[in-house]
Structure 1
Amino acid sequence: MKDIQKTTDMRGIAIQRVGVKDVRLPFRIKTLSGGEQQVLATIQFTVALPQEYKGTHMSRFIEILSRWQDQPLAEPEMEAILEEALEKLEAESADLHIAFTYFVEKCAPVSGMKSVLDLDCFFHGTKERGEAMQFRLGVSVPATSLCPCSKEISAYGAHNQRSRLAVAAEFNAETPCIYIENLAKLMEEEASSPVYPLLKRTDEKYVTEYAYDHPKFVEDILRDLVLRMRGIEGMRWFSVDCENFESIHNHNAFAAHEEFVK
């Protein structure tokens, strides 16, 4: 059968990224404990298309992804998927973004009751032919912030709110990436308090008082988190953004920062 996609295009425009988007597949993610966690992943998978080709073979992206569904996924597997795309699609570069919800176990601070907290995460890999993959890990963590100004000026109490802390991290080629569990723990430590899916009365008292003793503006959370990220061994680049879903305003407070680590 004639392959129309391989016919010559005369417009002289190379396409930087072409492929499939919003693909939903079950995947397995490697965990800190050495096991794996099955997740529902939303995927964007693309390659660069030379100017002489009319189109790419969309079905091959799905074929490649389907072969990797039952293998626990981390950096080495991401690079292998991208390498396979370079070969099977005759491309010079490939890009893979896998977004998923990941669950971490949380123990309530006093009662010790166990529950699981959902985190929005992503793996992002970019690879050029003959070069090492560039890999980024993204983690978004809910937390609590308590306003230092409100605490200072009020006779009693202080307004607090849920916050969202988001980090993307890229490590040097020779340094393994941090696990999701470790990065999430580091992030929530820089808020006024972590959040927990399950709290008993003793836990609720503890969390309320802990947040009151650790007031932070959105700027404080961001700066403290930037310092923690700088201190992680092998860090090459990172971005941080913090958003407080304000309880006494009809808007949110927001701060963001990114940098290459020297």
Structure 2
Amino acid sequence: MSGKLASHRTECTTRPAERLRAHGPQDLCDKQSERDHRELRIDKVGVRGLRFPIEVRDKAHARQHTVATIGMFVDLPKEFKGTHMSRFLEVLNAHGNVVHVENIPDILYAMQKKFHAATSHLEMEFPYFMTKHAPVSKLPSLMDYTARFDAAACGPEIDFVLTVKANVTTLCPCSKAISSRGAHNQRGTVTVAVRFRKSVWIEDLIEIIESSASCDLYALLKRQDEKYVTERAYDNPVFVEDLVRNVALRLNAHPDITWFRVEAENHESIHNHNAYACLERTCKRP
């Protein structure tokens, strides 16, 4: 009885492999290429949540290596049931073990060619690090920020949006005006997205954000530094409305930025809600 059982188990485990060898991968059913009769084109279909090493330009050190969370998408014509997800990974890995920012157009065009698609999209979000010195003690420490690339190709035309997110300190002007002792302050998050005609440094956008707030943040502060940032914030109160306007004025003055969107959200310290403001503009350039 045990001999028959062992023989049956061997037959069951080898039969699928034998079938694959007999027919080959090209004979397997391709469900994605079957016709779909719902007559609905899909704008973006693909993969999201990939983590992959990338190399970006660094103003202080020329290059910075980090890890991005990546999304890759193409359009799907109405006649096809689905897309072949593995091909996105093939395109990504064909460009090596590290994605360079300069390769983004090549990746977009490669997706168009691989999928016979009219449009392709690539999103990359990653931590970006800068060395920052405390304002008084001058002690150095690493600060992390969030940066994002959103790129799309429609035919030969490429649209590229750079987004940078930085945390800041905001002190309430109203609280300062009505209180005899102090004023409430909180951590705010500013998100800036830009289109440009010449490359814009991530560091320059961070500087614009931080200098527009009540005070910027630091990873490392000694007592003399804490005194400085507390007093600086008190001397520079801003609402979220002030914050987005301050950033917008500087972005609009940048000669290479053609469009921007600024969002500010304060994580209120005395309210059970956040304060939010958004400002979006297309810049008029000569």
Q: Structure 2-normalised TM-score?
A: 0.85
Instruction: Judge conservation of contact 1:121–1:139 (CA < 8 Å) in 2.
Output: yes
Pair 1:41 & 2:40 matched: no
Q: In 2, distance between residues paired with 1:183 and 1:69?
A: 29
Task: Indicate the residue corresponding to 1:170 in structure 2.
Answer: 195
Match of 1:151 among 153, 158, 176: 176
Task: Indicate the residue corresponding to 1:121 in structure 2.
Answer: 147
Taking only aligned residues, the RMSD between alpha carbons, in angstroms, comes to 1.6
Deviations 1:100-146 (A, max 9, x none): 11111111011111111111211000101122x10001111000011
Instruction: Judge conservation of contact 1:26–1:69 (CA < 8 Å) in 2.
Output: no
Counting matched residue pairs gives 257
Task: Indicate the residue corresponding to 1:256 in structure 2.
Answer: 278
Q: Which has the higher contact order (CA 8 A, sep 6+)?
A: 1
Question: Cα–Cα, structure 1 residues 6 and 115, in superposed 2: closer, same or farther, change >3 Å?
Answer: same
Q: In 2, distance between residues paired with 1:209 and 1:157?
A: 10
Task: Indicate the residue corresponding to 2:132 in structure 1.
Answer: 106
Deviations 1:21-70 (A, max 9, x none): 11122222221235322222111110011223232221111122223354
Query: Identity, % of aligned pairs?
Result: 43
Task: Indicate the residue corresponding to 2:252 in structure 1.
Answer: 230
Match of 1:218 among 226, 235, 240: 240
Pair 1:16 & 2:43 matched: yes
CA apart distance, 1:8: 3.2
Question: Cα–Cα, structure 1 residues 33 and 113, in superposed 2: closer, same or farther, change >3 Å?
Answer: same
Match of 2:107 among 60, 81, 105: 81
Q: In 1, distance between residues paired with 2:276 and 2:42?
A: 35
Bigger radius of gyration: 2
Q: In 2, distance between residues paired with 1:70 and 1:112?
A: 37
Question: Cα–Cα, structure 1 residues 249 and 237, in superposed 2: closer, same or farther, change >3 Å?
Answer: same
